[in-house]
Amino acid sequence: MKNKLLFSSLIIIALILSACASATPTPSAIQPTGPATVNVSQNATLGSFLVDSKGMTLYLYTTDTPNTSNCYGPCATAWPPLLTNGAPIAGSGVTGSLLGTTTRTDGTTQVTYNGWPLYYFQTDKVAGDTSGENVQGVWFVITPAGVKK
């Protein structure tokens, strides 16, 4: 009886672990394996704005200073930075000379555009979501010209 219970418990634990391992990571959990790609998307409300290679909206934070992030701790949990491993890649409609990087305090490399560090918003779940636009009057989608909407 004890062996049967132990065996059943191990199977349940294995199933839980395998389910967790196969879950799709959110932007906050994604660590770069190569260079980040920045593309342009658009919608009827906001016009053209920057997105990552999967179409997830990118934002700027108006309290940042040029090429320096001021978003750490709980801020970075809600607004995960767009990280890169290597020079970021400009997709169609993106001006390559406006792409750059900045080193975060934890040593990771964050993508910048026109000097603005780029972020995701944890509430955006699918490509095209823009729920971070104008949050608290300091978070905005960023245009291909490198300015807030």
- Ordered per-residue pLDDT tens for the chain, 149 residues: 544 444 344 343 333 333 333 333 445 446 788 999 999 999 999 999 999 999 999 999 999 999 999 999 999 999 999 999 999 999 999 999 999 999 999 999 999 999 999 999 999 999 999 999 999 999 999 999 999 98
CA–CA separation, 90 vs 112, rounded Å?
Answer: 12
Q: Is residue 23 part of a domain?
A: no
Cα dist. 61→54, 70, 124 in Å? Answer: 21, 8, 16
Is residue 1 within a helix (H) or strand (E), and if so which, with residue range? none
Q: Is residue 4 part of a domain?
A: no
Domain containing 70 equals 32-141
Backbone angles phi, psi at 42, to 5 degrees: -160, 160
Query: What is the number of structural domains in the chain?
Result: 1
CA–CA separation, 9 vs 15, rounded Å?
Answer: 10
Q: Is residue 26 part of a domain?
A: no
Token readout for 42 is 């658009």
Q: Is residue 148 part of a domain?
A: no
CA–CA separation, 26 vs 36, rounded Å?
Answer: 15
Task: Determine how β-strand 37-43 pairs with β-strand 89-90.
Answer: parallel
Other beta carbons within 10 Å of 66? 11
Q: Residue 102 in contact with residue 69, Cβ under 8 Å?
A: yes
Q: Is residue 63 part of a domain?
A: yes
CA–CA separation, 112 vs 5, rounded Å?
Answer: 54
